[in-house]
Amino acid sequence: MRDLGFSTRAVHAGQDFDPITGAVIPPLHMSTTYHPHSVGNLRLGYDYSRGTNPTRDNWQEQIAALEGGAYGISFASGLGAEDAIIRSLLTSGDRIVMGNDVYGGTHRLIDKIHGPNGIRHSAVDMTDTAAAVEAIRAEATAMVWVETPSNPLMKIADIEALTAAGHEAGAVVVVDNTFASPYLQSPLALGADVVIHSTTKYLGGHSDVVGGGVVTDSEELADKIRFIQFAAGNQSSPFDAYMTTRGAKTLAVRMERHCDNAEAVAKWLLGREEVTQVLYPGLADHPGHDVAARQMKRFGGMVSFRLAGGAEAARTVAEGTELFRLAESLGGIESLLNYPAEMTHASVKGTELEVPDDLLRLSVGIEDAADLIADLERAFARL
Ligand SMILES: Cc1ncc(COP(=O)(O)O)c(C=O)c1O
């Protein structure tokens, strides 16, 4: 599969036809348990679906093929995947160096759940490679956690440089590839050890299934993460895996359209006097543009912007669109608008990760760009 193109892998990896019926789409296996040939003599290794399930296996094969790794592991949510990585690879006293603008839930998990268990963290500006490398070298670092582009400030971190520094320090390097999707960015090819996804977003792609995915090329890391998944009972259901597989098959065509539309929306926002800053790595003056151009195929479907009128203006626009639905989450075919300070990032208020209250985040969908811009225009007219 590794030699095939991205879309071919998306459509075919883990999707062999059913040998019994010839069904082109592999059936959804909901069975919790499996009848062995005899005691201890399992059919194809299946015994109980918390451990292994054919539909989940198919999805795991697919996500591994998309990220270019050997092992895919599918979880009930993105945070479930993150929790399994931290619990299986770190012990009390270990330190994580992470971006100071990671997804609020990631910060909450590391700070509030793993902090009391002795996992320490240092939050640094990952866009400043030299400062991040210094933080990695400053004391023992067990894990480097990179999220790029970041949520919601669209900051870009240099995966290759941070991976090199992480490995020099003996750390495991994890990249949250949720915002880019494997179509636009391949962290394993840039040297990272583990890729994590909230598959709830672009991989599922239709805002109808919550899930998380981990991909690694290391058998040792995969075994440790799989053990936690099995022993602690944190896996995607067969139905969720089936839905995500279905969505991921069209990832490439969706991402191209998300990118086209995001570029059009970002350009339109740039020309508006109500807007003080447009945060989109595709813009030539974005501070991370050159690094993004090097490590991403295109610049993605997420656009954030800040309003001159502050929090009040942000709320007015947030409540004034119709096609851009006011909602959390991102990466679906429909456009969504989020007010991070009070929604997705409310949990980091008062911490070093607090986001500005004049900021809006758009998940630009695959609708017609002209309609999306007209929708924003109507909302801006309320200011
Ligand atoms: C970048 C990023 N990582 C991880 C997560 C967590 O994923 P989930 O909501 O599927 O648990 C999110 C959720 O918004 C996210 O945006």
Q: What's the chain's length in residues? A: 383
Residue 103 bears catalytic tag: yes
- Predicted local confidence at residue 202, as pLDDT: 98
pLDDT computed for residue 273 by the predictor: 98
Sheet holding 302-307, edge to edge: 275-279, 302-307, 359-363, 336-338, 325-326
| Ligand 1 centroid, distance to 102 Cα (angstroms) | 10
Separation in Å, CA 343 to CA 104, 148, 327, 354:
10, 20, 8, 12
Q: Tell which one of 82, 103, 199 to mutate to probe ligand 1, the residue whose CB is within 8 A of the most ligand atoms.
A: 103
Pairing assessment for the beta strands 275-279 and 302-307 based on DSSP bridges: antiparallel
Between CA 77 and CA 72 the distance in angstroms is: 14
Task: Supply φ then ψ for residue 228, to 5 degrees.
Answer: -60, -40
Count of C-beta atoms within a 10 Å radius of residue 377: 12
Nearest CA, atom 16, ligand 1 = 103
What type of residue sits at position 215?
V
Q: What angle do CA 78, 252, 176 make, to 5 degrees?
A: 25
- Per-residue confidence (pLDDT) for residue 298, from 0 to 100: 98
Does the active-site annotation cover 325? no
Kindly give the confidence (pLDDT) of every residue in the chain, 383 residues in length, as a single tens digit, with 9 standing for 90 and above. Answer: 788 999 999 999 999 999 999 999 999 999 999 999 999 999 999 999 999 999 999 999 999 999 999 999 999 999 999 999 999 999 999 999 999 989 989 999 999 999 999 999 999 999 999 999 999 999 999 999 999 999 999 999 999 999 999 999 999 999 999 999 999 999 999 999 999 999 999 999 999 999 999 999 999 999 999 999 999 999 999 999 999 999 999 999 999 999 999 999 999 999 999 999 999 999 999 999 999 999 999 999 999 999 999 999 999 999 999 999 999 999 999 999 999 999 988 878 888 788 999 999 999 999 999 999 999 999 999 99
Burial of 381 (0-12, 13-18, 19+ CB in 10 A): exposed
Strands (E), 165-262: 172-176, 194-198, 212-216
Distances (CA, A) of 102 to 124, 151, 265, 283: 10, 6, 24, 21
Q: What is the distance in A from the centroid of ligand 1 to the CA of 82?
A: 9
Rounded CA separation 246/204 (Å)? 8
Catalytic residue (choose from 56, 120, 201, 298): 201
Q: Catalytic pick from 71, 103, 202, 242? A: 103
pLDDT of residue 307: 98
Q: Is 286 exposed, middle or buried (0-12, 13-18, 19+ CB in 10 A)?
A: buried
- Give me ligand 1 centre to Cα 104, in Å: 9
* Closest listed residue to residue 154, CA positions, set 172, 127, 136: 127
Encoded tokens for 244: 């995500």
Q: What is the pLDDT of residue 350?
A: 85
**CB-based contacts of 353: which residues, under 8 Å, 6+ apart?**
100, 101, 102, 104, 107, 123, 345
Which residue among 83, 101, 151, 198 has the greatest number of ligand 1 atoms within 8 angstroms of its CB, and so is best to mutate? 198
The identity of residue 304, as a single letter, is S
- Taking the centre of ligand 1 as the mean of its atom positions, its distance from the CA of residue 179, in whole angstroms, is 9
